[in-house]
């Protein structure tokens, strides 16, 4: 870059900083007006650093995965304390990639084949289990604990069969499931463990970050999550073989591991013999598996690099906000609040509330009241996934199994909801939400 080009580049980025201070900073710091300001359950929290990175990447105009992507993957792996991370275009894609990695033929007798079973829960987000149905594996649904909204680990042995190959579970709203028990169960029977860490980045169990206990972990970087790249997600693993398979699947299924824009780095471009292809076939167009294109743009990765710097602070703010709401609402007999295990240190995604048995109002009564007072609410995702229309063409016992009764799952479906506690919340906003809930319960 010439001195003139560098000067113009620097001037543009300085104007971006000024623009943030003029336009976005006032909006993010606008005064809160109770009953007027809409309190979203989540959202992006950013400053000029994200915008400067974004524009810097745009000026470079590389567009597809590039230097910011490589930096993000390296720094995310360092944060997690694991070997490898792959940036993808969504958390749902990360779950698809994680599951399909375990179907690779080179995994031998441990590969997941069509008809094999994967233990999971129905109280969650559908794309944790969508890849199983799409591939032809059989989800085995186990009930959750009402106190934690996580899997009831006492049902794991009952759920296992000779066809069980893996456990795939999410940490509900950032609250870690009982990882000691699940990890021991998987080790006992040589099962794969996929941690859907999309709602829990930064949570810890027994001092160790969630997402690093399993063979593969996944994250989502959609704006309401712990950090954002806009759209985006990640897969991470300490297993070099799984990383190589996942990277190939993410990048069209190609055999070559050269980065975008690189030719011949692998040293095999015109020298190899692959399958029934002619000798010397261009290695960049050799496909060792049926894959996808799940990459992101470097502009998204640029935003993520700035967000990573703030991730520990974001987690502490989420913890602090959870404690505020818990202390403000824990004495209400009409409500049951989500609890975590003693070994857990959750970086909470949301504040889960379940109606106590016998209350004189419904969840909809309360959530409608909150929405009328400009407080956004959300159900716990699917509630009971098996009750949704997508299950109507499926046959229980064939395409999926249910272990026992999903009693607590059904209760979550009928009586639970959650409100936000993301870093954009202030104590003033949290106090207004708590007061609105308390006033409703008092009147009822």
Catalytic center residues: 225
Q: Cβ(231)–Cβ(90) under 8 Å?
A: yes
Distances (CA, A) of 443 to 368, 372, 440: 15, 16, 5
Alpha carbon 413 to chain centroid distance?
Answer: 21
Query: Judging by DSSP bridges, how do beta strands 117-121 and 335-337 pair with one another?
Result: unpaired
**DSSP 8-state assignment for residue 62:** -
Q: Cβ(140)–Cβ(159) under 8 Å?
A: yes
Query: Judging by DSSP bridges, how do beta strands 216-220 and 344-345 pair with one another?
Result: unpaired
CA-based torsion, 93, 388, 383, 193: positive or negative = negative
Q: What φ, ψ does residue 358 adopt, rounded to 5°?
A: 85, 5
27: left (phi over 0), alpha (psi -120 to 50) or beta: alpha
The helix-helix angle for 48-60 and 3-19 (nearest 10°) equals 140
The residues facing 390 across adjacent strands are none
Neighbour order of strands in the sheet with 335-337: 335-337, 351-355, 416-419
Cβ neighbours, 10 Å, residue 293:
12
The helix-helix angle for 91-101 and 240-250 (nearest 10°) equals 120
DSSP H stretches of helix in 81-204: 91-101, 130-135, 156-159, 179-189
């Amino acid at each position: 870059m010439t001195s003139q080009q560098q000067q113009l580049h620097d001037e543009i980025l300085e104007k971006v900083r000024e623009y943030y201070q003029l336009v976005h900073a006032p909006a993010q710091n606008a005064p809160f007006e109770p009953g007027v300001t809409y309190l979203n359950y989540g959202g992006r929290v950013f400053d000029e650093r994200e915008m400067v990175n974004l524009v810097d990447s745009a000026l470079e105009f590389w567009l597809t995965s590039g230097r910011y992507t490589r930096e993000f993957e390296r720094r995310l792996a360092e944060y997690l304390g694991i070997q490898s991370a792959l940036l993808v275009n969504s958390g749902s894609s990360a779950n698809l990639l994680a599951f399909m990695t375990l179907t690779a033929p080179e995994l031998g007798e441990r590969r997941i084949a069509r008809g094999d079973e994967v233990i999971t829960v129905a109280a969650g987000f559908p794309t944790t289990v969508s890849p199983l149905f799409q591939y032809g594996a059989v989800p085995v649904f186990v009930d959750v604990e009402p106190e934690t909204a996580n899997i009831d680990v006492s049902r794991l042995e009952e759920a296992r069969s000779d066809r069980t190959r893996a456990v795939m579970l999410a940490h509900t709203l950032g609250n870690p499931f009982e990882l000691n028990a699940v990890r021991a169960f998987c080790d006992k029977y040589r099962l794969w463990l996929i941690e859907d860490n999309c709602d829990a980045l930064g949570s810890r169990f027994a001092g160790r970050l969630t997402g690093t206990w399993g063979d593969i972990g996944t994250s989502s970087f959609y704006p309401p999550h712990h950090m954002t790249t806009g759209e985006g997600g990640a897969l991470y693993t300490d297993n070099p073989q799984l990383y190589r398979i996942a990277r190939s699947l993410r990048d069209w299924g190609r055999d070559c591991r050269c980065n975008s824009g690189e030719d011949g780095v692998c040293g095999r471009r015109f020298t190899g013999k692959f399958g029934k292809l002619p000798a010397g076939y261009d290695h960049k167009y050799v496909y060792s598996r049926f894959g996808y294109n799940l990459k992101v743009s470097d502009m998204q990765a640029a935003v993520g690099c700035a967000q990573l710097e703030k991730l520990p602070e974001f987690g502490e703010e989420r913890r602090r906000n959870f404690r505020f709401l818990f202390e403000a609402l824990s004495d209400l007999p009409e409500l049951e609040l989500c609890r975590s295990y003693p070994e857990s240190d959750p970086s909470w995604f949301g504040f889960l509330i379940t109606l106590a048995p016998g209350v004189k109002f419904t969840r909809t009564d309360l959530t409608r009241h909150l929405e009328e007072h400009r407080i956004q609410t959300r159900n716990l995702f699917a509630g009971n996934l098996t009750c949704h229309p997508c299950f109507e063409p499926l046959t229980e016992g064939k395409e999926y199994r249910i272990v026992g009764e999903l009693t607590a799952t059904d209760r979550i479906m009928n009586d639970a909801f959650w409100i936000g506690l993301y870093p954009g919340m202030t104590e003033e906003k949290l106090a207004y939400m708590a007061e609105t809930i308390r006033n409703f319960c008092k009147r009822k």
